[in-house]
Structure 1
Amino acid sequence: MRLVILAAGLVALTGCGGGDDAQTKAADDARDIAMVEKAQNMRPPAERLVPEIITESDLEEKDILGGLCAVQHPSGIHYLAIARPDDAWIKLDGELVRLGPDKGSPEQPYGTWTKYDGKEYSLRMQLTANEGEMEPGAGSGEILVRDSFDREVFRLSTQIECKER
């Protein structure tokens, strides 16, 4: 009889311990899930970038013609970004990157737009002189490049030239 009571007691204790194990496992699983979700939602550090000079041969290679607005390099000789009605271009790591227009953004001269979007970056080009009413020619402005997390990775106040090419 003592053996039966002892066995029943062990079974009861094992059952209680099993509940603790289930609770511990559930807590561990919840913690692991939270860690995975946190890791998935982490953003990589923002990487500052500097658009490279767009050369005349780059323009010819991509057949970039027509009316455009171009962000001048501080030297005043070359461009850092080109905007047209249907696309914009910046040069990163030796490659021209094409961006599509956000036609909901304010329009600028020659049918260009204030904002252009791409897979990894977006470009905002804002004329600060005459707020979009600039006649063809040059005026002051600003370029802003944002990464895919909408973080600013480049900003420059410089001259923007709008002309027929």
Structure 2
Amino acid sequence: MRLPLIVCLSAALASCGDELSEAERAERDRAVVERVREVNEAAPPLVEVVPEPILYPDMEAHDLFGLACSYAPGTSMGARVIAREADAFVKLDGDVIRFAADPGSRELPAKSRSLYNGREYSLRLDIIEKEAEAETETGVAFFEGTVWLRDRWDRVIYQGTGAVNCGA
């Protein structure tokens, strides 16, 4: 019976000396909330990625045939991005990732778009149309283009410039 009384008296005495006014308590709570907000909004370290070539088996598995623009960096012939009217595809870490076209973005050749959005990344495309080579008898046009891949914090994690061929 004595122990509960001692515990209650100790707790009462401990709380007497740390009495905060309403303004002090509000300021302390505001500071804690601000620290939590800063921690939650902080972006993790930047992780750059390099898209892998989209190979024929990938194209078959995702039905990537038809009217589209294919982007290949530098002098490579392996497409790293395939952009179509409604979607675009990039291969990262062995997985082909689908992006949805932003219908409000600028239309590029082959009905592709300049902006595509995914769950973890966004994709921006640019084609320099004035330097296009003449279309061949197959209906494919060749351009120079740039691709930007951004993470969900809108940081560029990949940028590549190279050949773009658009057509069926």
Aligned to 2:164: 160
Give me the CA root mean square deviation. 2.7
Following TM superposition, by how much is the alpha carbon of 1:137 offset from its aligned partner in structure 2, in angstroms?
Answer: 1.6
Aligned to 1:143: 147
Check conservation: 2:72, 2:164, Cα contact below 8 A. yes
Identity of aligned residues (%): 31
| Structure 1: distance between partners of 2:108 and 2:21 | 66
| Structure 2: distance between partners of 1:88 and 1:131 | 23
| Structure 2: distance between partners of 1:20 and 1:92 | 54
Aligned to 1:83: 83
Larger CA Rg, structure 1 vs 2: 1
AA of the residue aligned to 2:98:
R
Aligned to 2:63: 63
TM-score, length-scaled by structure 2: 0.78
Check conservation: 2:101, 2:116, Cα contact below 8 A. yes
2:47 partner SS: coil
Gaps of 5+ in 1: 1-15
| Structure 2: distance between partners of 1:153 and 1:130 | 28
TM-score, length-scaled by structure 1: 0.79
Aligned to 2:116: 116
Instruction: Describe how 1:8-157 pairs up with structure 2 within 5 A.
Output: 19-20=19-20, 25-130=25-130, 136-157=140-161
1:129 partner SS: strand
Following TM superposition, by how much is the alpha carbon of 1:30 offset from its aligned partner in structure 2, in angstroms?
Answer: 3.0
Aligned positions, number: 150
Indicate how the Cα distance of structure 1 residues 20 and 163 shifts in structure 2: closer, same or farther if over 3 A, else same.
closer
Check conservation: 1:85, 1:110, Cα contact below 8 A. yes
Check conservation: 1:53, 1:73, Cα contact below 8 A. no
